[in-house]
Amino acid sequence: MAWSRDRTVTSGPKGRAIRKRSPVTLARVTVAVGERLPLHRTLDALADWAEDPTARTLRRLREAFTALVEANGAQGASLEVEAPPLPPLRLAVGTLTEPGTSADADEFPIRSRGGDHTLGSLWLAGGGERRASAARAIEVAVDAAWSRAEARRVLDAMAALDEATRAIAGVLSLPQALQLIVDRVRDLAHARYAALGIVGSSGTIEQFFTSGISAAERARIGALPRGRGLLGLLIREGRSIRIADITADPRSSGLPPHHPPMRTFLGVPIAVKGRSVGNLYLTEKTAGAPFDENDERMVAAFALHAGIAIENARLHEDVQRLAVVEERDRIGRDMHDGIIQSLYAVGLSLEDVPDLMVESPLEAQARVERAIDSLHRAIGELRDFIFGLRPELLDRAGLAAGLAALADEFRVNTMLDVRLEVDAASGQELAPAQSVEVLQIAREALSNVARHARATMVTVELARTDGALRLRIADNGIGFRPGDRRAPTHHGLANMQERALTLDASLSIESQEGAGTGIELRVPLEAGHDRAREEQTG
């Protein structure tokens, strides 16, 4: 820092000399204090360039680096940095435009503060004994920039890992969970392609989920891999594998025709409680560099959560299958103990009716009438039994999913065009028993369409509106006049009205001859909340 000469004034008390600094000197001091030191400028410029490696930030870095070199007495410097996550850097200033072009240049390795990472190399020309201090200053600047970038990378990676694991944690459908896992790990590792292989008991791949390859590309590739080459190596050894170039690796079995080119590879096993449940395969890191230790650690951490998610989805499917089997057994027992026994008794009572018609016509007639009455009772019991069934699995899937399944069943059985317009979140406020009632009303309405409407198309709509859940089912059939008297066997509308009353809901019917029929159910949602709380606490 430069100061101007002090001037001496002898007019002070007792003739004592007084030193004063001129106003010009004070102004120069202010400018000098306001300027940042070359090291600080270089630190800031390196940080800006690391976040945004453009020509503009590189120009600022060159200017700051030149000032730092000159401040330390060097005549020229060349810096090479290869230290991810910093972008690669080659910077030459002063008399040294290329590494090693001057006999007076000395090379200095650039290391991290702990010395466990080599960040690059520095060549300095001139400066004499001050070269070491100049090299140390530049090393401090590069290490600070690298440490900052590494800390930011770790924080970003932890946030990405947390987001990815949260995304797969609640998925209970096994196919959906497997596809979501492979999609998430591809983003997590910044890979162009990713795959998840599920290995069967025979040691070969039985299921293969991919990400980054379109359905058309997969079709052109042909059959799924069976687990040879590097995929088989991962299956056999059960450990992570990183390869910089699989085309040059003798363990690779090559790629089939129409397969996208791949070079870099990272394979990580998925295991739960020491048992393998699958393998993750990643290729072609988007930055062009090979997968590194950080990528492997990140994917391995994600694989732990992926294994848990796969096990949860499998357990959920097992529970569903068990529930179906148990429900099937229960239905079989109930029907055998009641309705089937009644029908069997009717059949026995009619066996000798042909003989009675000759020998005792009146007895035969009475026997047939009693059988008809018994059949009507059995039909009523069967109807009550069907309507009383609680579709447990449908309850867990939700009302929206239940309507979708009902629409699929109706479409297959009737060959009618069914248009489903359902808000997936609708119906979540209802108690399970209420959801069943809504589904049964929808089933009855669709049954009426199939039997009476002579329609070609039916629309099923479910949405929340004006504080209520609204279900509307409309067809383009022949319609009817609501005031017309219906046949005694037509119980559908009455059944729906009764179910609507149990829901404290309103049911309206609109129909015109030749213009189709529309049935609309409105269930107050507040009542649904109250009923849900009663079922949960009662």
Q: Which of 234, 268, 226, 276 is nearest to 251 (CA)?
A: 234
Is 21 a residue whose pLDDT tops 60?
A: no
Is 389 a residue whose pLDDT tops 60?
A: no
Is 340 a residue whose pLDDT tops 90?
A: no
Q: Mind listing the pLDDT tens digit for each residue in 270-313?
A: 988 778 888 999 999 987 789 999 899 999 999 999 988 888 88
Dihedral sign computed on CA atoms, order 525, 529, 530, 532: positive
pLDDT score, position 219? 83
Is 80 a residue whose pLDDT tops 60?
A: yes
Mean pLDDT of 429-434: 82
Mean pLDDT of 252-261: 84
The percentage of residues in the chain with a pLDDT greater than 90, rounded to a whole number, is 19
Mean pLDDT of 405-425: 81
pLDDT score, position 63? 92
More confident residue, 477 or 14: 477
pLDDT score, position 27? 33
Q: Mind listing the pLDDT tens digit for each residue in 87-100?
A: 899 998 888 876 55
pLDDT score, position 26? 30
184-193, 338-347, 443-452: segment of lowest average pLDDT? 338-347
Mean pLDDT of 509-524: 90
Q: Which of 5-9, 107-111, 489-493 has the highest mean pLDDT?
A: 107-111
Q: What pLDDT band is residue 380 in, cutting at 50, 70 and 90?
A: low
Q: Tell me the C-alpha to C-alpha distance, in Å, between residue 7 and each of 23, 24, 213.
A: 12, 12, 81
Distance CA 281, CA 234 (A): 9
Is 535 a residue whose pLDDT tops 50?
A: no
Domains and CATH numbers, the chain: 38-155 (3.30.1140), 170-310 (3.30.450.40), 390-537 (3.30.565.10)
Strands 457-465 and 417-422: parallel
- Give the chain's length: 538
Mean pLDDT of 423-451: 83
Q: Mind listing the pLDDT tens digit for each residue in 141-150?
A: 899 888 888 8
Mean pLDDT of 125-139: 82
Q: Which of 204, 236, 185, 313 is nearest to 195 (CA)?
A: 185
pLDDT score, position 526? 65
394-398, 418-422, 444-448, 456-460: segment of lowest average pLDDT? 394-398
pLDDT score, position 16? 40
Q: In sequence order, what DSSP letters do the residues of 286-308 get, joined into one string?
A: TTSSPP-HHHHHHHHHHHHHHHH
Question: Long-range CB contacts (< 8 A, 24+ apart) of 254-258?
Answer: 254/229, 256/221, 256/222, 257/221, 257/222, 258/217, 258/220, 258/221, 258/222
Q: What pLDDT band is residue 507 in, cutting at 50, 70 and 90?
A: very high
More confident residue, 31 or 105: 105
Is 484 a residue whose pLDDT tops 90?
A: no
Tokens of 186: 């591809």
Mean pLDDT of the chain: 79
Mean pLDDT of 10-16: 40
Distance CA 355, CA 424 (A): 61
pLDDT score, position 8? 37
Query: Torsions phi, psi of 102, nearest 5?
Result: -120, 135
pLDDT score, position 491? 59
pLDDT score, position 57? 93
pTM of the full predicted structure? 0.53
Is 387 a residue whose pLDDT tops 60?
A: no
Q: Mind listing the pLDDT tens digit for each residue in 36-61?
A: 688 888 888 988 988 889 999 999 99
Q: What pLDDT band is residue 7 in, cutting at 50, 70 and 90?
A: very low
pLDDT score, position 272? 82
Mean pLDDT of 505-519: 90
Is 481 a residue whose pLDDT tops 60?
A: yes
Is 237 a residue whose pLDDT tops 80?
A: yes
Q: What pLDDT band is residue 485 in, cutting at 50, 70 and 90?
A: low
DSSP character at residue 339: I
